[in-house]
Structure 1
Amino acid sequence: MEANIFIQNGWMLTLAIIIQVLLIILVAALFERNRLKKLAYWDSVTGLPNRNELNRMLRTPKGNIKTAILFLDLDRFKVINDTWGHGAGDSLVKEVGKRLKQFVTSEQQVYRYGGDEFIFVIKGKSVDHAEQLAGLILQSIQNEYQIGGFEFNITVSIGISLGSAHDANYSDLLQQADKAMYQAKKLGENRYCLYSDFTESN
């Protein structure tokens, strides 16, 4: 009788250990899955959602919602990278990301598109709102940066395109905003340009 109880207790202990091990493996797998998901959809330098998350968001059906795209590109960023190194460049991009986060709301989100490029997506707002946001971003970005004991100054050029979430091809909106951004650079940098104004003047 005692032997049976001992065997039974042994099996129960073994089962408990197996359950604990399985739980540990499950928790570790979930943690690793979340870590990999974060790496896939979030930028490690700025902590902002990245291009993958932008593409995923744009592919999600939203109905016929008015949408504005702001394409941001830092002016003369390559000079800073080449002169001070990529470490200083990454630090500057990180600080820029912090300043852009202050403009994030439930209707507008910023993404790091790559390198020194950022994208704002604004839903359900007017062109006046998009232009107002662009103006606020210009003012915020050009304020002085303190990095590694040195002072840095940088500006940004912004292109704005307008469409709706019903449009089948968001790449058109991105390309339009990209072209408008380059037009802003041609006009002297540190400014924004509407794609509609650019096309109407050509």
Structure 2
Amino acid sequence: MSDPLVKICGLSTPETLRAAIDAGADFAGFVFFEKSPRHLGLEAARRLGPIAQGRIRKVALTVDADDAALDAIVAALAPDYLQLHGAETPARVKEVKTRYGLPLIKAIGVAARNDVETAGDYEGVADIILFDAKPAPGAAVPGGAGVSFDWDLLRGVTAKDWMLSGGLDSENVAEAIRRSGARAVDVSSGVERERGVKDAEKIAAFVSATRLS
């Protein structure tokens, strides 16, 4: 069985992007959401895109973005994937996929088993389902809060390709993979030294711990 895939999300500097590449991560996530402490402006995206090009898969994360915003992001970053992390309906996901012709990751917030089951609504539309901890009611940001959920809820997930996120770090990722059966993991706050600031050593430790799981 191949090693689990790793996505490092919320990268915002050349140094931490290179750290993710050097550690052997598979995906680099860039957040385009102004309420997030990891928000990346378009100019920064234009600088980081060439560093990642051909070395790691670029993922542009958005939250209920309209077509104009997505047009600007795609032009600036030239992403390999789009990640929709808001309340996008299956119909909206299909619209975005058709418009850009890019593979799509759709985030699903999980607190209970019925949340996991909603992933079925996106089968055949999203290329990858990302199961993340469900945000608290009224939360300003839908992810990246360092909160996990019951990984056992994901046992038996039928989605063809899916990814686990939410509260992961180098200390718990092996257990999370064992309990959930995940073959791909996504981390953001778990590789930070402070909120929104990535740490190169933590990135390397997380990738290493995932490969050894």
TM-score, normalised via structure 2 length: 0.22
Kindly name which structure, 1 or 2, has the bigger radius of gyration based on alpha carbons: 1
Q: Which has the higher helix share?
A: 1
TM-score, normalised via structure 1 length: 0.23
